[in-house]
Structure 1
Amino acid sequence: MKRSLAGVLMIMALGLAYAKDKPMVGVSEKVAVASRGGKVLVTLTVSNKTAQPIYLWKVTYQSKQLFGPEFEISVAGSAAPVNYIGPMVKRAPPGPDDYVKVEPNGVLSNTIDITGAYDFLPGKRRYRLSHTGGYVLDLQQLDNPVAMKPASTVFTHTHVAQPAEE
């Protein structure tokens, strides 16, 4: 499968490039990482402590796997990036059915297995993972997403390199 940088950029642009509004006070995202049993599980939790609903892109906030480089990961203490090696999916611009509603004073949480999607280095290492989520306030104005304050965490993961397949 040929991976397209243009496809990645399009996915990222759909979520954040047009973010014109400042985040509302009361909408926040937390990111947590659990590394156990050789897996890296990322949990995104969005809290909507406002009086109006927000809408989150289902691909990020309901999927159990990645379809593009959703997270920025680096080796902790350095700028060395961990490359995304997972599937790349080109998508049409999202429509209203591609969003999940988070009610006022609601919380939405989703856990994604990113183990095979990033090129983690062999051995035990500390990593920093960052994510900038986004939401829309009106399903009739999907071209006006709001970026959330970036969330990040540091985690330790032990990756055992697998022999190359012949």
Structure 2
Amino acid sequence: MNRQHALIFIAMTIMVDNVYGSCLQVKILSAHSVFDKTQDVAVEVQYNNTSNYTISIYKWCLPNNELNDPLFKVTSNNVPVNYIGPLVKRREPTIEDMIPLEPGKTKIIQARLSSAYDMTMTGIYSIQYDMPTERVVFKHARTFENVLFRTISKRHSGLESNNIQLIIEGRSNIQREQNKNMNVIRRAATLSYVSCSITQKSQITAAVSWALQYADNSFNYLNKTKPSGRSRYKTWFGRFMC
């Protein structure tokens, strides 16, 4: 492929990106404006296809109540609220990972926020759906040559909804408490031995030290490293979605 063709493909992809971003409209609604600590904080998310063609949406952006991705930007009293729900490292998506949204149709889902965001503090929470378009909508640009894909993937456009404000009473969060407990357990953990020789105790101590190092490396890699261009885990899982 020569330079002229490459530039044409890039221009076409930018146009596709803009079209998808503008034709898929997202709106969020809440049945209540005030939530006490006994109520789950949930919102209704509406995906509306305003185009004349079918748009394919990734399944994980259409959760069944529980979130598996930080789909929302949440602040409390103008301070960002941490997402503490699951973070999934996914392989390159296939057609089975898509849900079609036909022209003029609307897809409505319920998303529970209080289990995935740290809402332990009482305050006024500002909530907005906020995701890069390429993380929500499948675009045919993903089938272009790798050299173009790397160039195109650097360009991000946002898919944003309206912003709603809710008064939320602080509540405990199981995920937050579990994370805190795991940190305490790890710091407090000590080794005990039964009928072990001095050599065996030394070997066990070294093995635990290496295991903790492996776990830390894996955790840091999966949370901080973009998979594009990396060789790790390809044997087990194949290519990851960027």
User: In the alignment, is residue 22 of structure 1 matched against residue 18 of structure 2?
Assistant: yes
1:121 is the counterpart of 2:120: yes
Inter-CA distance 129–102: structure 2 relative to 1 (3 Å threshold): same
> Could you say if the C-alpha distance between residues 148 and 108 of structure 1 is closer, same or farther in structure 2, counting changes exceeding 3 Å?
farther
Once the two structures are superposed, the pairs formed by residues 1-166 of structure 1 within 5 Å of their partners are: 20=14, 21-24=17-20, 25-34=22-31, 36=35, 37-76=38-77, 78=78, 80-123=79-122, 125-133=123-131, 134=133, 135-138=137-140, 141=143, 147=157, 149-151=159-161, 152-161=163-172
Given that 2:118 and 2:173 are in contact with CA atoms closer than 8 Å, whether structure 1 keeps it comes out as: no
- Match of 1:97, SS state, is helix
Superposed displacement of residue 26, structure 1: 4.0
Q: Is the 8 A contact 1:74 1:129 kept in 2?
A: yes
Matched AA of 2:165: V
> Shift of the alpha carbon at 1:160?
3.0
In structure 2, distance between residues paired with 1:108 and 1:139: 24
Instruction: Give yes or no for contact 2:125–2:165 (8 Å, CA) kept in 1.
Output: yes
Contact 2:119-2:171 at 8 Å conserved across structures: no
The alignment's TM-score, normalised by the length of structure 2, stands at 0.50
Task: Report the TM-score, using the length of structure 1 for normalisation.
Answer: 0.70
Distance 1:150 1:87, change over 3 A: same
Higher relative contact order (CA 8 A, sep 6+): 1
- 3-state SS of 2:18 partner: coil
Instruction: Give 1 or 2: higher helix fraction.
Output: 2
Instruction: Name the SS of the counterpart of 1:85 in structure 2.
Output: coil
User: Which amino acid letter does the alignment assign opposite residue 46 of structure 1?
Assistant: Y
Number of residue pairs aligned between Structure 1 and Structure 2: 145
State the one-letter code of the partner of 1:57.
Y
> C-alpha separation between the residues in 1 aligned to 2:108 and 2:141?
21
What is the alpha-carbon distance in structure 2 between the residues aligned to residue 162 and residue 106 of structure 1? 36
Conserved? CA contact 1:33–1:42, under 8 Å: yes
Q: Using a 3 Å threshold, how does the CA distance of structure 1 residues 141 and 126 change in structure 2: closer, same or farther?
A: farther
SS at match of 1:22: helix
Question: Between the two proteins, what is the percent identity of the paired residues?
Answer: 20
The structure-2 alpha-carbon separation of the partners of 1:114 and 1:86, relative to structure 1 and needing over 3 Å to count, comes to same
Is contact 1:126–1:154 with CA below 8 Å preserved after alignment? yes
- For structure 2, list consecutive stretches of 5 or more residues without a partner in the other structure: 1-12, 182-242
Amino acid of the residue matched to residue 32 of structure 1? Answer: L
